[in-house]
Amino acid sequence: MEQLNTPKELLINDSEMIVSSTDRKGNITYANDVFCKFSGYSRAELISQPHNILRHEDMPKSVFYLLWKRALNGEVISAFVKNKAKNGDYYWVKAYIKPIIKDGEITQITSYRKPINNFAKEYMTNLYKAILDYEKTHTIEESMKFVEVYLDDRGLTYDQFVDRLSLGKGVDIVHKINAFKYKNAHIIFKAHILTEIKNKNLDVKVNDCKSCEFGKRLIELENEQFAKTKEWENLVKHHSHVHDALQNYVNKARAGATQSELDDAVKEVNSDTALIFENLTNLIDNYKG
């Protein structure tokens, strides 16, 4: 009985780059040696063939719809793509797709493809499965809407989504908590307290850590799965310390502390503030849900 070969993954080295070009209709006009190597086709077999000769059945149609729509609109776009070699093997790439424009017209589209990290590969494998399932009962346009909603739910544009995964950064909780917004709020709050003390307003009030906007948001999210991580535990701890340290600064000022003592109190505030957002950034970037 003849045994079927199981397709295996072909791994591209960081030093290698697959390069190919097509005309506006998607027919291959150029293929470099690395492309021939991984596709398993000779250059003669590739030239004039439609680029979808490499399309793997695990790739959603809506992804290619998006790529071609933007490329033919003159836009540069990147995407994670699983390609199928001539013998059935497969390889994952991050494709950087650039339309070539001459005299105001797109004459060809060139794709530069490099390896992707394991996190992006695992994430996109699962996402593409979900999109493929959706495509079975929906049109391409409806599937595109599915992708748009998926990205909107994460507070990311398509390009931001690809960029974060390319760097091995998480994408599922970016929208849950706006690190930039709350970091700025704490910097402004600290500046307000220091200014009031400088102006001899010793009655200035330091809010409790649970009553500031960031503290309220932390309470709202405390039942989330990511709130069980060490990074979350640390940022909650340091957030509490920041408010305690600011109150300590005000108390020292009221007690007539020296400028050196006040400066030491401010250093403590700055240190804990930095640790809050270091832990928050690490959580957002590294949480794999």
- What is the number of alpha carbons within 13 Å of residue 37 lying toward its C-beta? 11
Fold category of 18-166 in CATH: Beta-Lactamase (3.30.450)
Residues 6+ apart with CB under 8 A from 62: 131, 135, 140, 143, 144, 146, 147
Name the residue with higher pLDDT: 112 or 210. 112
- Whether the pLDDT of residue 170 is over 60: the answer is yes
Nearest Cα to 58, choosing from 113, 9, 116?
9
The pLDDT assigned to 176 comes to 86
- Whether the pLDDT of residue 67 is over 60: the answer is yes
pLDDT tens digit sequence for 182-220 = 889 989 999 999 999 999 999 999 988 998 999 999 999
pLDDT tens digit sequence for 214-230 = 999 999 999 999 999 99
- Average pLDDT taken over every residue of the chain: 93
Cα separation, 124 vs 190, in Å, equals: 42
Question: Binning pLDDT at 50, 70 and 90, where does residue 4 land?
Answer: low
Cα separation, 276 vs 282, in Å, equals: 10
The pLDDT assigned to 248 comes to 94
The pLDDT assigned to 1 comes to 43
Counting Cβ atoms within 10 Å, is residue 278 exposed (0-12), middle (13-18) or buried (19+)? middle
**Entry pTM:** 0.82
> Class of the 174-286 domain?
mainly alpha
Domain ranges, ordered by start, for the chain: 18-166, 174-286
